[in-house]
Amino acid sequence: MPDVPTSWELSREEWEAVVLDDLNRPAMKDRQRVIEVLMIRDGGICGLCKTPVDSGFREPHDPASPQADHIIEKSYGGPHTWENLRLAHGYCNKYRNNFPASVAVPEEVFREAFEQAVHRWENPHVYLPRAIAWDEGLIAEYRPKLAAAERELRKLVMADGDKDAITESARAVAHWAKLVKSAQTHRATLERRIAKHIAKGVTREK
């Protein structure tokens, strides 16, 4: 465990309490403090793309927002300890999930993906309409499949069909319903971002 920065003036027990609660998960109220500590310890450098991390306030979905990344992922048994935490850009942390844990991804790959994400974030008038159109295409594709699955389920239920067949049909309905809802939710999020971007532009003009 790293030495406690003297500026914090915390005991070892208090230091550990910053990041650990009874469930061995980061306490929500302390996450910002964890990031501040990692900023100091890691010199403000992302552990994945090796470029500077801005410590200033950013919106939660901003790709450049600072996050605490688990070196050994929690899903693979990685502990929530200082030795297993490193500073990372939010997008780099998310992008890492595209690769198996056993694959060593070069920092250049993270850097290129991060730069592209920042460009999309800073130019929503170009990116968001295309993303919304993509979501609408997914919704148009999924809805007929959901309707077909619902018809099949009703047919099986009304015919007092085999229980296993009914269960499988119900799972298909739940699957397509989840995909439709996910695309709708994402589209609504993008639409709010467009509205916010337009509002900012109006404010600047005033």
Per domain, the residue ranges of the chain are 12-122, 124-205
| Burial tier of 31 (Cβ tally within 10 Å: 0-12, 13-18, 19+) | middle
Tokens of 67: 């996050």
* Tens digits of residue pLDDT in 176-190: 999 999 999 989 988
* Tens digits of residue pLDDT in 64-101: 989 999 888 887 888 878 888 899 999 999 899 878 77
Question: What confidence tier does 50 reach under pLDDT thresholds 50, 70, 90?
Answer: very high
Name which of 53-67, 73-87, 132-146 the model is least confident about: 53-67
Question: What confidence tier does 142 reach under pLDDT thresholds 50, 70, 90?
Answer: very high
* Tens digits of residue pLDDT in 157-168: 998 878 899 999
- The chain-wide mean pLDDT, for the chain, equals 80
Between CA 83 and CA 88, with CA 84 as vertex, the angle to 5 degrees is 110
Is the model more confident about 37 or about 49?
Answer: 49
Give me the numbers of helices (H) and strands (E) for the chain, helices first please: 6, 2
